[in-house]
Structure 1
Amino acid sequence: MSELNLILLGPPGAGKGTQGERLTSSEPLEYVVTGQILREAVREGTELGLKAKGFMDAGELVPDELVIGLILERVRSEAASDGFVLDGFPRNIAQAEELDAALKELGRDLNGALLIDVPDEEIVRRLSGRRVSQSGRVYHVEFDPPKVEGKDDVDGSDLIQRDDDKPETIRKRLSVYHAQTEPLVSYYEERGLLHRFDGTQGVDEVAAHLRKTVSTLRLEDAV
């Protein structure tokens, strides 16, 4: 089986986490979520994790070289020997160039950038409709409403809209995405690596399209 190294792209709320988990549950690919591996390294007290914690405790961003170091640790693991799906990095072109160089030093290259594309208004609709109970149960006013409007199904407590899910906050996050991360679409398209997926389709439809594309990439890489 040929190695397959992929990254997931898309705006916040596009469903990258859902699709990344689905894809890596049906393919022998390691799912590398940068936020998750950073938290794990800090919790486990690894060398890189301790360095990252120092920046986090000081309220500073973790430097790109540290994040890439954590990614490379996972890429070198046996679990990633057949390939990986990277989610959450790179977030800009400078990071993409650093990642390319680091992977080349390992003798590995990206085979594809999978873009789950969703219009801004649909993102706002999805995220701003979320409501959360005191116990952490999540509802959606349109897609998964509670039995009684504004009340948790289990304990009857009031549901709230988190600040992160308010339309104005979502639009600010989208503005940052368009300014910093969206240029990666052209970056990978120019390299012949970009594959687009209509994220407004149902979860199952997007998942099926992703699996079909990955199967095609495997065949192309094997030739």
Structure 2
Amino acid sequence: MSVRIAVLASGRGSNLQAILDAIAHGQLQADVVGVFSDRVDAAALQRVPAPRRWAASPRDFADRVAFDTALGDALAACTPDWIICAGYMRILGAAFVARFEGRLVNIHPSLLPLYKGLNTHARALEAGDAEHGASVHFVVPELDAGTVLAQARVPILPGDSPESLAQRVLAVEHPLLLASLALLASGRITEQGGQVQLDGHPLFSPLALDSAGTLQR
């Protein structure tokens, strides 16, 4: 049976499209059962049929808890096995994270624990780092602080701008996310109490994406 994936997105949905393409080409045994957004005009929503879209503005709710409850109820209704935050720009509340604990995964454009939050490419350049990249991690209430499952690295080149660096990181984000999803969908990766296990054995450092798009210890 195909794994049921729900995607949270706030923007254009390039990672979502990578997932949809991989499914269409038989590279990922999964179904995207819903796309959910905090922006009603998010381009990501247009990548799936209307019955699989849910969007609402947080400003239309009394508070964060009310919005998170509505989002959580909509998610629960499509019974996902995994919930993927792919360019979702709103912080998820503690009650929401607890409701879906162990099934929430995020892709973040930095080599966590470096550069949690926004503007990661500019911050890496300002720090004079030699490399940058992306991380797939489990979601916890603290921003970008969950256990990292896998990472992909890119060199920072002379003359790089935040924009040029962002493009190279995006190019590795897609294969990183797909390789991670393949492991999650197969049941080879589990997480409990902050400890990630691969094939039943503790994973003490993130898996690394190689040039062939394969995750290695």
Higher relative contact order (CA 8 A, sep 6+): 1
TM-score normalised over the length of structure 2: 0.43
Larger Rg: 1
Q: Which has the higher helix share?
A: 1
TM-score normalised over the length of structure 1: 0.42
